[in-house]
Amino acid sequence: MGKFTEALKKAAERRLERVEKKEEIKPYVIRTVADSRIDPHIVAYFDSSSPISEQYRILRTNLQAIDKPSAPKVLALTSSIHGEGKTVTSINLGITFAHDLNKKSILLVDADLRKGTLTKTLGLNADKGLSDILTNGTKIEDVLLSIGRENLHILPSGKKPHNPAELIGSQKMKDFLAEVRKKYDYVFFDCPPVIPVTDASILAPQCDGTVMILQAGRTQRGVLTHAQDRLRTVKANILGFVMTNIEYHIPEYIYRYL
Ligand SMILES: Nc1ncnc2c1ncn2[C@@H]1O[C@H](COP(=O)(O)OP(=O)(O)OP(=O)(O)O)[C@@H](O)[C@H]1O
Ligand SMILES: [Mg+2]
């Protein structure tokens, strides 16, 4: 065999060795599979140093800075109509608050008893949650879920009830609010939209503040004003607005500091 053929044979053997070695590290892939079940829009989970995560940090800073009459710790997140980004914003905000080095305890609640997608967006399976607590006395601690952050608890919406608005307005909901207020530093409610159903208008006034989500290029001014009027009528405390789906016309480097 010539020197050239010998060299080729050795190179092929080395390649084979590398392939075999790669197969040995298979177990590390498991973590990637677990993570990938979480919706990629949850940027605060996947890339906490990205400019988008920084925007959620700015939102956290702004919410933590509010201290009149007292710092809000129980917050409702809602919007005028469906699909404006309430769930994605609630989760990103919950994770961003959980990242705070002061190790605040956070509860993220799916308060959309009709069409809740909080657990689906997090890649979690859940058949029980808030509606079960409000109907059959299920204990809170029996239905809490985790995504691996010890100071962030997730409460699914639970079995779809036939009377969601009544449950949200019930004494049991008040008791639930009183209990979680004591147990957690911050509670975030991912609510249904304001215009089509009344649930958010019932829950928002029981919270310390409400954050309204609107979607760039979709939410109409008149519709948003109408939703705000509804919330003001029930004396909800609207703290501010989050705009989702923004296209970066300003070059990304302006947002990126490091
Ligand atoms: N900040 C964002 N930028 C771009 N797309 C987003 C953003 N937030 C959410 N989305 C996308 O918009 C769609 C709706 O998001 P999401 O489920 O959070 O809305 P929602 O207001 O909770 O909807 P629903 O009213 O049905 O509960 C999803 O496809 C989501 O991935
Ligand atoms: Mg939602």
Domains within the chain, CATH numbers bracketed: 37-255 (3.40.50.300)
Instruction: Answer whether 164's CB lies under 8 Å from 199's CB.
Output: yes
| Residue 229 burial class via C-beta count within 10 angstroms: exposed 0-12, middle 13-18, buried 19 and up | exposed
Q: SS3 of 215, please? A: strand
User: How far is 214 from 79, CA to CA, in rounded Å?
Assistant: 6
**Residues near ligand 2 ion, CB 5 Å cutoff:** 86-87
The count of residues in the chain is: 258
Bridge partners for 152 per DSSP? 106
What pLDDT sits at residue 76?
A: 98
User: Mutation test of ligand 1: which of 81, 87, 121, 160 has the most ligand atoms closer than 8 Å to its C-beta?
Assistant: 87
Q: H-helix or E-strand containing 31?
A: helix 29-36
What pLDDT sits at residue 137?
A: 87
Average pLDDT, the chain: 87
Q: Is pLDDT above 50 for 124?
A: yes
In this structure, of 47-51, 103-107, 196-200, 246-250, the range with the lowest mean pLDDT score is: 246-250
Atom of ligand 1 nearest to the CA of 213: 21
Atom of ligand 1 nearest to the CA of 244: 1
- Report how far ligand 2's centroid is from the alpha carbon of 87 (Å): 4
Helix, strand, coil percent values for the chain (each to nearest 5): 50, 15, 40
What pLDDT sits at residue 9?
A: 72
155-189 pLDDT, tens digit per residue, is 999 999 999 999 999 999 999 999 999 999 999 99
Instruction: Give CA 158 to chain center in angstroms.
Output: 17
Instruction: Answer whether 49's CB lies under 8 Å from 202's CB.
Output: no
0.95 surpassed by pTM: no
Question: C-alpha distances in angstroms, 142 versus 109, 117, 126, 153, 245?
Answer: 14, 20, 11, 12, 36
Ligand 1 cavity residues, CB under 6 Å: 41, 79, 82-88, 112, 115, 117, 193, 244-245
Using alpha carbons, select from 188, 149, 180 the residue that is nearest to residue 56. 188
- Token readout for 103 is 């190790």
20-49 pLDDT, tens digit per residue, is 544 443 333 323 334 558 999 999 999 998
